[in-house]
Amino acid sequence: MPPSDNDHELTPMGDADALQARLAEVQTLLARHRLVEDLVHRQEMPRHDLVESLVHKRHLAELRGKLDKMHPADIATILEALPLPDRLMVWNLVKAERDGEILLEVSDAVRETLIASMAPAELTAAAQTLDADELADLAPDLPREVVQSLFQTLPHEEREQLRAALSYPEGTVGALMDFDMVTVREDVTLEVVFRYLRRFDALPDHTDQLFVVDRNDVLQGVLSLSRLLVSEPETEVTAVMRSDTLRFTPHDPADDAAEAFDRYDLVSAPVVDAEGKLVGRLDVAAVLDYFREESESEQLAQAGLREEEDIFAPVWNSVKNRWAWLAINLVTAFIASRVIGLFEGSIEKLVALAALMPIVAGIGGNSGNQTITMIVRAIALGQLSPDHARRLYRKELGVSLINGLVWGGLLGVLAWALYGSLALGLVMTSAMTLNLLLAATVGVAIPVTLARLGRDPAVGSSVMITAVTDSGGFFIFLGLATLFLL
Amino acid sequence: MPPSDNDHELTPMGDADALQARLAEVQTLLARHRLVEDLVHRQEMPRHDLVESLVHKRHLAELRGKLDKMHPADIATILEALPLPDRLMVWNLVKAERDGEILLEVSDAVRETLIASMAPAELTAAAQTLDADELADLAPDLPREVVQSLFQTLPHEEREQLRAALSYPEGTVGALMDFDMVTVREDVTLEVVFRYLRRFDALPDHTDQLFVVDRNDVLQGVLSLSRLLVSEPETEVTAVMRSDTLRFTPHDPADDAAEAFDRYDLVSAPVVDAEGKLVGRLDVAAVLDYFREESESEQLAQAGLREEEDIFAPVWNSVKNRWAWLAINLVTAFIASRVIGLFEGSIEKLVALAALMPIVAGIGGNSGNQTITMIVRAIALGQLSPDHARRLYRKELGVSLINGLVWGGLLGVLAWALYGSLALGLVMTSAMTLNLLLAATVGVAIPVTLARLGRDPAVGSSVMITAVTDSGGFFIFLGLATLFLL
């Protein structure tokens, strides 16, 4: 059972200011400590001067005391906000038995730096303080030898749980679930249930319901604590339990389960295998983490970052993290450049084209991204039947037509005024309108096609649409200009 | 108290497929109904033909039966996925007493269409089925007369709660909290608490703890159901309650509270006023909704959409929703175009510049957006002390320098190969590197400045960086070319 929060001071409200204040405290203590170290190091003080050594120790002891009282999530935040040497010094001050829960809380990139600083024996000890489901989260980052020695030291039941948890791929309910189930039988009275619960030191976190199982662990229903508490103790479990409850299997997509938690306001839900046997539990804390990680990695992906970065990691790590995206964009930009290259003769004759063409391409990209965002959303909400796709496409075409005529018209007038050519203005307006219609078409087609192919319509859509509206915009504008102006 | 979910069939797993299946069912029934309507309308059948009228009624009755058994969140999804006439037909089949809870679940845009179809008396009746905190969420969308008549009909306590809930601005704890608190006194035994709870029909959703208050409703601590259940009934509340618990005030930012729920895995938390009096409760379902809405509106904002769109709304609504963003981008694109205009003479002499310049601008924009995303994240995580800002800036400069030399070098070679001019290649490489350094500088400066000004660093950063790297990229590349090549 995870240690309860009772013995940690919770940052009042967990707000950014309070955390900043704590961080500043830690940094002050570290700075004082370093000052003494520096003096000793520069030999301005005899190395073994007793008094100084005491001062030195006092700062570290004070820091250790503060850390002991902090919630693991807060310590994790502080570790993430410290440069590597400071980070490792604080890490060494943290009590060994808390290493495990803190490793679970820090970001992947920072976790790597902490694990790299620990000996295998330390890591094994830290891992042993964790539940099987937590271990499964940590295992991929641990050295192979540590995982092996863990398997050898775990009690049988937990070993099986760990094996099970490790077997479910990321993105499934199995990878998110824990094993903190409290089970009861259906043929006992609530009085018996009360007596049974009193034998616990504490119920697992987020226990809002007990799972009712038969002799073979097959789930019969759930008994909510609320029902338990408002019913008469003489009642039998079977009379107050709910049997038509939502249940998941370990292979269900985590997305669906998370959606159900949000939709039906759940706190916990049972996870059963194909035979209906209770194998785990999903709770709202895991779902909340999942939502936040998903929305974060989506944000990072949208900017072309492969993963979160440790802000104190070497430059090289950041370069690798951002490389792929820049390379892809370089390719699409190069293609667009070659499209312009086709019309160099036209540009030579009418140089105004060079100044105006990026506007056509850019606005097309913006409008296309708006369309894609709407369509991806409609797909995610299950609103996009084939029937509706056509309807939506017509609508997007309508929006593009209006925007093309209005904004394209405005730009046409500007081009006319700037370069004194009505024909150039008309080409500008037509090109804008056509490129916006292209953006709408491709903006609907890309996510719909990706979804039909069973791929995530959100991933990569934005690069693709920009590539199309850039090259397409240049081609349409320069092509029309070549046809009608030269 | 909100109606419990007990009497609704929950979609198995709430997954997209199951919902699609339900939607298809509804649509089939609607289609059959319409067929009959059409036949009647086209006079191919006598209008009062008894048999047909029965068939007609049977379909609607079947649909009504299905709707009655569905969870309000599922009905909301179906309403959102139906075009307006179908949507209103389904809406009319929903039992009147469920209107309120369904209005809470649908998106803002769809809610408008439903409310527009209802008479004031219907709306008042629907609203009366809701709790004060739910009413407060709905009130801004209701006609003024309905809100006024609600205030007159509500019992005193709820009226005060509604007044309070309406007084807190969006984005505060007060706007998210509910009033479903179960309170106990500290000087009673747990046995008394058990007897007290048994008098309830059901505990409010997400009750994981009872609030311990004194005679004046001042919060003394919390008693978790877990503690209650594992302790001996003879114990006094005061012996098992926690008094150092996290508490919020209605004016706390919702962001901070949500962050605390995620950080400390909370299910519910008390909300107190300045005197420590218990005034409300925040629960994890409200927090989860908040997170999802925030991440959604961020996604929409990033694509320049003001709000979610009803996919069946008229084209005109969509145009208005997307207008502002396109206008802003038009202005920045026009400025970039004028920068190019400054160098028309140079482009006339060396037309290759026109083909190469969008690459310099585009890659700068991509790299700048990567930097901004990292910095906004660091700010959100509280990792950006002034000391660290300098450090991060140096790092971003390093990343840009490497990327500029590598990718810029590659493009320089390509330009050299394509146009046979080494000097052009060198200008290309230098311009890329300089524009990436500019992107890094501005990518750090924009969010840091916005944060110092107390504004949300995520809003608008992306447009600004793209504006700078576009205009800047064109200026640097064309300027260098003019200086060194012509």
Percent of chain B, pLDDT > 70?
A: 91
Mean pLDDT on A49-73: 77
Which pLDDT belongs to residue A3?
Answer: 36
Q: Which residue has the tokens 């997954």?
A: B15
* CA distances from residue B145 to A45, A182, B160 in whole angstroms, order as listed: 81, 51, 18
Q: Supply A4's token pair.
A: 């309860």
Q: How confident is the model at residue A151 (pLDDT cuts 50, 70, 90)?
A: confident
Q: How confident is the model at residue B2 (pLDDT cuts 50, 70, 90)?
A: very low
Which pLDDT belongs to residue A381?
Answer: 78
Residue type, B310: D
From A53's Cα to the closest Cα of chain B, the distance in A is 28
| Number of compact structural domains in chain A | 3
Cβ separation B242–A308 shorter than 8 A: no
Which pLDDT belongs to residue B388?
Answer: 78
Cβ separation B358–A381 shorter than 8 A: no
Cβ separation B230–A407 shorter than 8 A: no
Percent of chain B, pLDDT > 90?
A: 56
Residue in chain B lying closest to A304 (CA): B370
Rg of chain A over Cα atoms, rounded to whole angstroms, equals 31
Find how far residue A481's CA is from the centre of its chain. Answer: 46
Whether residue B75 lies inside any domain: the answer is yes
B364 sits in which H/E element: helix B352-380
Q: How confident is the model at residue B13 (pLDDT cuts 50, 70, 90)?
A: very low
Domain shared by A235 and A255, yes or no: yes
Does residue B6 carry a pLDDT above 50? no
Q: Which residue has the higher pLDDT, A20 or B274?
A: B274
Domain shared by A408 and A476, yes or no: yes
Does residue A55 carry a pLDDT above 60? yes
Q: How confident is the model at residue B158 (pLDDT cuts 50, 70, 90)?
A: confident
Domain shared by A43 and A164, yes or no: yes
Contacts of B296 (CB under 8 A, 6+ apart): B308
Cβ separation B246–A10 shorter than 8 A: yes
Whether residue B119 lies inside any domain: the answer is yes
For chain B, the straight-line distance linking the first and the last C-alpha, in angstroms and rounded, comes to 79
Which pLDDT belongs to residue B49?
Answer: 57
Nearest to B398 by CA among A82, A86, A311, A83: A311
Nearest to A236 by CA among A246, A247, A221: A221
CB A242 within 8 A of CB A229: no
B-proximal residues of A, 18-57, CB under 8 Å = 19-20, 23-24, 27
Domain shared by B210 and B131, yes or no: no
Rg of chain B over Cα atoms, rounded to whole angstroms, equals 31
Chain A hits for B305, Cβ within 8 Å: 370, 373-374
Nearest to A182 by CA among A163, A201, A164: A201
Does residue A354 carry a pLDDT above 70? yes
Mean pLDDT on A232-236: 95
Of A411-415, B384-388, B476-480, the poorest mean pLDDT is in: B384-388
| Interchain CB contact of B369 with A (< 8 Å) | yes
B209-213 vs B183-184, strand pairing mode = parallel
Mean pLDDT on A123-150: 90
Domain shared by A324 and A468, yes or no: yes
Q: How confident is the model at residue B381 (pLDDT cuts 50, 70, 90)?
A: confident
Chain A hits for B257, Cβ within 8 Å: 13
What is the arrangement of strands in the sheet containing B183-184, beginning at the earlier edge strand? B183-184, B209-213, B219-224
Q: How far apart are CA A352 and CA B5, in angstroms?
A: 66
Domain shared by B293 and B430, yes or no: no
Owning domain of residue B295: 183-302
Where helices occur in B70-143 by DSSP H, the ranges are: 72-80, 84-93, 99-105, 108-116, 120-128, 132-138
Which pLDDT belongs to residue B55?
Answer: 63
Whether residue A294 lies inside any domain: the answer is no
Percent of chain A, pLDDT > 70?
A: 91
| Interchain CB contact of B414 with A (< 8 Å) | yes
Instruction: Choose from B180, B251, B317, B383 for mutation: most chain A CBs within 10 A.
Output: B383
Instruction: Choose from A1, A330, A367 for mutation: most chain B CBs within 10 A.
Output: A330
Which pLDDT belongs to residue B35?
Answer: 64
Whether residue B293 lies inside any domain: the answer is yes
Residue ending a domain, choose from B241, B269, B302: B302
A398 sits in which H/E element: helix A386-419
Domain shared by A260 and A387, yes or no: no
For residue A392, give the nearest of B205, B311, B402 by CB distance. B311
Which pLDDT belongs to residue B40?
Answer: 53
What are A270's strand-pairing partners? A281
Angle at which helix A144-153 crosses helix A120-128, to 10 degrees, equals 50
Domain shared by A223 and A361, yes or no: no
What is the arrangement of strands in the sheet containing A183-184, beginning at the earlier edge strand? A183-184, A209-213, A219-224
Does residue B99 carry a pLDDT above 90? yes
Domain shared by A324 and A472, yes or no: yes
Whether residue B309 lies inside any domain: the answer is no
Q: How far apart are CA B76 and CA B124, in angstroms?
A: 20
Q: How far apart are CA A136 and CA A138, in angstroms?
A: 5
For residue B363, give the nearest of A260, A329, A363 by CB distance. A329
Residue ending a domain, choose from B268, B302, B336: B302
Q: Supply B429's token pair.
A: 């490489």
Domain shared by A249 and A230, yes or no: yes
Q: How far apart are CA A85 and CA A57, in angstroms?
A: 18
Cβ separation A330–B410 shorter than 8 A: yes
B253 phi/psi in degrees, rounded to 5: -65, 135
Domain shared by A148 and A204, yes or no: no
Contacts of A150 (CB under 8 A, 6+ apart): A124, A127, A128, A135, A139, A142, A162
Whether residue A298 lies inside any domain: the answer is no
Q: Supply A245's token pair.
A: 């409850």
Q: Give the ipTM.
A: 0.84
Contacts of A127 (CB under 8 A, 6+ apart): A100, A135, A138, A142, A146, A150
Helix (H, G, I), strand (E, B) or coil at A131: coil
Does residue A57 carry a pLDDT above 90? no
Mean pLDDT on A163-192: 93
Mean pLDDT on A101-115: 92
| Interchain CB contact of B307 with A (< 8 Å) | no
pLDDT tens per residue across span B357-369: 999 999 999 999 9
Q: B67-71 — which CB contacts under 8 Å span 24+ positions?
A: B67/B26, B67/B93, B67/B94, B67/B95, B68/B95, B69/B8, B69/B9, B70/B8, B70/B9, B70/B11, B70/B22, B71/A263, B71/A264, B71/B5, B71/B8, B71/B9, B71/B10, B71/B11
For chain A, the straight-line distance linking the first and the last C-alpha, in angstroms and rounded, comes to 79
A-proximal residues of B, 53-82, CB under 8 Å = 71, 73-74, 77, 80-81
Does residue B46 carry a pLDDT above 80? no
Q: How far apart are CA A293 and CA B230, in angstroms?
A: 34
Quote the Cα angle for B193-B280-B237, to 5°. 25
CB A253 within 8 A of CB B15: yes
Highest mean pLDDT (candidates A24-33, A305-314, B31-40, B466-475): B466-475
Where helices occur in B154-221 by DSSP H, the ranges are: 156-167, 173-176, 190-198
Residue ending a domain, choose from B302, B326, B360: B302
Q: What is the largest CA-CA distance in chain B?
A: 95
Whether residue B308 lies inside any domain: the answer is no
Contacts of A195 (CB under 8 A, 6+ apart): none
Q: How far apart are CA B5 and CA A242, in angstroms?
A: 11
CB B221 within 8 A of CB B242: yes
Domain shared by B67 and B205, yes or no: no
Residue B118, domain CATH = 1.25.60.10
From A46's Cα to the closest Cα of chain B, the distance in A is 32
Chain A hits for B471, Cβ within 8 Å: none
| Interchain CB contact of A260 with B (< 8 Å) | yes
| Interchain CB contact of B420 with A (< 8 Å) | no
Mean pLDDT on A246-269: 92
Q: Which residue has the higher pLDDT, A144 or B382?
A: A144
- CB-facing half-sphere around the CA of B449: CA atoms within 13 A: 10
Residue in chain A lying closest to B414 (CA): A334
Q: How far apart are CA B330 and CA A111, in angstroms?
A: 44
pLDDT tens per residue across span B243-254: 988 999 999 999
Does residue A46 carry a pLDDT above 90? no
Chain A hits for B23, Cβ within 8 Å: 382, 385
Residue B417, domain CATH = 1.10.357.20
Q: Supply A324's token pair.
A: 């792929």
Q: How confident is the model at residue B1 (pLDDT cuts 50, 70, 90)?
A: very low
Which pLDDT belongs to residue B149?
Answer: 87
Mean of the per-residue pLDDT values of chain B:
88
Residue A237, domain CATH = 3.10.580.10
pLDDT tens per residue across span A322-351: 988 899 999 999 999 999 999 999 999 999
Whether residue B321 lies inside any domain: the answer is yes
Does residue B164 carry a pLDDT above 90? no
Instruction: Choose from B80, B205, B308, B318 for mutation: most chain A CBs within 10 A.
Output: B318
Q: How confident is the model at residue A40 (pLDDT cuts 50, 70, 90)?
A: low
